[in-house]
Amino acid sequence: MRLTWLGHASWRLEIENAVILIDPWLDGNPSFPDAQKAEAINGATHILITHGHGDHASEAVELAKETGIPVAGIYDLMQFWEGEQGIATIGFNKGGTVDLGGAQVTMVNAVHSSSLGHGAEGPNYAGHEAGYMIAVEGKVIYFSGDTDIMADMEWMGDLHKPDIGILSVGGHFTMDPARAAYAAKRWFNFDTIVCSHYLTFDFLQPDIAPLRDVGAKLIEPQVMEGLTL
């Protein structure tokens, strides 16, 4: 299994039978080098979306049309895109599990918001925000998506027992390192924590020191440098 950070909250997950792009935001992402876009999407088999905000979902339809691969995510948004944009989708909901090329992806709760666009009529409904438990190659990854800490993390940690936590830690829009560390220590038993949704803008430059006290291996990823886990 190989994980590659694409900057901000965007990831590439490579497993034996699949390459999953999670919340791919490449064009306009200050952290992502434009010249490496082809490399980032090469061989992709699926796109997985946590919610509708532009820094997570704005390129999903374009990439799906360009590559011919399906987009998976919350049912409401997937049905809208399939009907309006004619792309292939895999719509499911919280508690549901889908097979993405051998990865068993279960949608779990997150606490955030989700919308499309900000025109004169205001933001449009995009279904609910979500995180994912991804069971693959004998390990379980908790991809938190954009979220604050929440009581649901107690049963999520107990039921799924994730080994790896890819956690939003930037603050401002999501939990910050102190809140993520609190959740990790109280409700999870991660072997590895990987930082996400940070370092993109001036207000997403947190001090990650609290995460060093959790007792798990802490990874501060570098853009386009793959991690073998």
- pLDDT tens figures, 125-149: 999 999 999 999 999 999 999 999 9
% of the chain exceeding 70 in pLDDT:
100
The separation between CA 94 and the C-alpha centre of its own chain, rounded to angstroms, equals 15
Which pLDDT band holds residue 166 (cuts at 50, 70, 90)? very high
Domain that holds residue 207: 2-222
Give the per-residue pLDDT at 118.
74
What average pLDDT does range 159-186 have in this prediction? 98
Q: What is the mean pLDDT of the chain?
A: 97
Domain count across the chain:
1
Residue 117 has pLDDT above 90, yes or no: no
227 lies in a domain? Answer: no
Which pLDDT band holds residue 120 (cuts at 50, 70, 90)? confident
105 token code pair? 């992806």
122 lies in a domain? Answer: yes
229 lies in a domain? Answer: no
Instruction: Provide Rg for the chain, Cα atoms.
Output: 16
Cα dihedral value 42, 59, 94, 134, nearest 10? 20
Describe the crossing of helices 152-160 and 177-187 by its angle, rounded to 10 degrees.
50
The separation between CA 144 and the C-alpha centre of its own chain, rounded to angstroms, equals 7
What average pLDDT does range 150-160 have in this prediction? 98
Give the per-residue pLDDT at 119.
75
73 token code pair? 């995510």
Which pLDDT band holds residue 91 (cuts at 50, 70, 90)? very high
177 lies in a domain? Answer: yes
Q: What is the CATH number of the domain that holds 79?
A: 3.60.15.10
Give the per-residue pLDDT at 141.
98
What average pLDDT does range 28-42 have in this prediction? 97
Vertex 168: Cα angle to 134 and 129 (nearest 5): 65
Give the per-residue pLDDT at 132.
99
49 lies in a domain? Answer: yes
Which pLDDT band holds residue 200 (cuts at 50, 70, 90)? very high
Strands (E), 7-129: 11-14, 19-22, 46-48, 71-74, 89-92, 97-100, 103-109, 115-119, 122-125
